[in-house]
Amino acid sequence: MNKEKFIHSIDNIDIPVEKLVARERMAMFEAKKKIRKGTKSSILIACGICLTLIGSGFVVPQMNHVLAKMPIIGELFSYFKDSVGENLAASQLVQEINQRAVSNGVGVTVNGVYYDGGRISVTFKVDHFRPKSKEFWYDVKIADGSDKWERGAQYDGRVTSEGFVGQILIDYPNKNLPQHLTLPLTFTSMNDIKGKWRFDIPIQQLDNKKVSIRQLVQSNDKAQKVNFETMTIGKGSAVIDYTAIHSLIGKSDLARIEKVTDDKGKEIDVLSSGIEFGRKKVDNWMESEERSIIAKIPDNTKFLMIFPYVREYEHDATHSLSEPAFKMHSTRNDVTLTVEQMEQSKNELTIQYTLDHVDTNLSLGEIKNFGENLNLIDSSQIGKDRPSIGHIVKGSTVKVLDKDKLQFQATFKLGGEYGIDDFSLENYSLEAPFSILLPEKTLPPIKVNLK
């Protein structure tokens, strides 16, 4: 038994095509309705229907009722599986606020905020809202709506027994963490109801402790370095700030934190790894200022161990198929691919190849996977971001010929829906994704004393 049988077992699942097409139409219809309503309701917004009530003094009786039914803050975090929020709520460190805005008859109340280390959470509840769908979703603009805020945000919305609740989690997008800020939030839709619910939320960072790390670790070949700078230890989470330094050949490499353990060897969850603040070239290096956020460090922890790693990248290599046998090289290590022979039939091209100098830590499966990701590409399309359909065959079926010598046979389907229109060995090249054979580089762990 093998992978083919697994695929076969899934491919045996019957496809209810008509039902699927009907569902597609329904989904598109609902989606279009949502988008269309957006453009129409802007006139209503301009009429000044929006109303923001701040503080309970403005709360009408109806709203008091709404607030009374609101789940308590701690429960909200358990809906969202936010352990940081749950911990903070248990210590009464979540700032409770009641800012309500109404638009198109729907009320949105921001009821809780926390800003711990580098993470901000805003929770809210929606009232007078009767969507047709059993789902709840919304659109919101954070601050100026720029990419950096979008990238670092996670949105959740739940339908609970007590109504519609949502959470926006934001990794603060700048390196410097201010102690307090006013965060503008503008909701622009609640399911298919468009509107404008605008809030300016005053946020205070919870007390934290800064720990200077000042440790630089590097890979054995010194091509990658991570300079750990500081930790900001909040009440329910902690921030690790560092600069990843890559040699220019690895300017797109990614430095990440694999795990963090406490003094008892217990893992602390990494909540966000590799929040990047921008890359810049410094002499012959590419420097990237980054941050990772981890969950709460247990009280009385004496030290932490941080385990960094680097994922390397290189451009896919190509070689013309016009030669009957040839060799291709990785630009990042010594791996070579030697094409020994090729056989072309009407609908297939079979290539026999051997790999040399492959990292011994890679499994046969991973090495085989490299072959499954070989492409045949029209030589005139090399370098294009998106080669046209009919000018590329993506992937092959790989047979292991000799697992000790790492000799394989890759078979490419030239015909069919994803085939090549007019294949010839003269005009086509083999494209090899050597990145797959670059093992992750583990950097030495660092020890951070907290006491």
Partner 1 sequence: MDIAQLVQKAKRGNDEAFEQLISSVRHKLYRTAYSYVRNEQDALDIYQETIYKAYTSLKKLKKPESFQSWIIKILVFKSIDFIRKESRHFSTGDEELFVELISKESTDYIDQSMDLSEAFKFLDPKYKTIILLRYYHDLSIKEIANMMNYPEGTVKSYLSRAQKQLRPILKEGYFYE
Sites of contact with partner 1 (CB under 8 A) = 1-3, 5-7, 9-13, 15-17, 19-20, 23-24, 26-28, 30-32, 34-35, 135, 256, 258, 273, 309, 311, 363-366, 368-369, 372-373, 385-389, 395, 433, 435-436, 440
What burial class does residue 231 get, using C-beta atoms within 10 Å of its C-beta: 0-12 exposed, 13-18 middle, 19+ buried? buried
Residue number with CB closer to partner 1 (236 or 371): 371
Torsion of CA 297, 157, 120, 68, to 10 degrees: -100
Q: Judged by CB, which is closer to partner 1: 34, or 319?
A: 34
Asked whether 150 and 142 are in contact (CB, 8 A), the reply is yes
Q: Cβ 290 to partner 1, closest distance in Å? A: 14
Cα 158–Cα 161–Cα 163 angle in degrees, nearest 5: 60
Considering the complex, what minimum distance in angstroms separates the CB of residue 363 from partner 1?
6
| 186 Cβ contact list (under 8 Å, min separation 6) | 140, 141, 196, 197, 198, 199
- Rounded to a whole number of angstroms, the minimum distance from the CB of residue 134 to partner 1 is 9
Q: Between residues 1 and 43, which has the closer beta carbon with respect to partner 1?
A: 1
Q: Which is nearer to partner 1, 387 or 445 (CB)?
A: 387
Strands (E), 207-313: 209-218, 224-233, 237-247, 254-261, 267-268, 270-282, 285-295, 303-311
Query: Closest separation between CB of residue 292 and partner 1, Å?
Result: 12
**Structural tokens at position 442:** 């583990």
- Min dist. Cβ of residue 365 to partner 1 (A): 3
**Burial class (CB within 10 angstroms; exposed 0-12, middle 13-18, buried 19+) of 98:** middle
**Which is nearer to partner 1, 102 or 367 (by Cβ)?**
367
Which among 252, 246, 307, 241 has a CA at the least distance from the CA of 274?
Answer: 241
- Distance CA(156)–CA(167), nearest Å, equals 5
Closer by beta carbon to partner 1, 3 or else 315: 3
208 vs 435 by CB, closer to partner 1 = 435
Residue whose C-alpha is closest to residue 129's, from 189, 50, 79: 189
As given in the structure block, the two tokens for residue 239 are: 């921030």
3-state secondary structure 144-156: CCCHHHHHCEEEE
- Note whether 288 and 246 are within 8 A (CB): yes
- Min dist CB 432 to partner 1, Å, is 13
CA 34 – CA 104 distance, rounded (Å): 15
Taking the least distance from each CB to partner 1, the nearer of 311 and 319 is: 311
* Nearest residue (CB) to partner 1, 205 versus 272: 272
Q: How far is the CB of 369 from partner 1 (least distance, A)?
A: 5
Around Cβ 196, how many Cβ atoms within 10 Å? 21
Query: Toward partner 1, which CB reaches closer, 15 or 43?
Result: 15
Provide the minimum distance between the beta carbon of 44 and partner 1 in the complex, in angstroms, as a whole number: 21
Q: Tell me whether residue 57 or residue 416 sits nearer to partner 1 (CB atom).
A: 416
- The C-alpha atoms of residue 308 and residue 225 are separated, in whole angstroms, by 10
d(CA 238, CA 223): 28
Listing DSSP states for 286-317 in one string gives EEEEEEEEEEPPPTT--EEEEEEEEE---PPE
Least CB distance from residue 164 to partner 1, whole Å?
Answer: 14
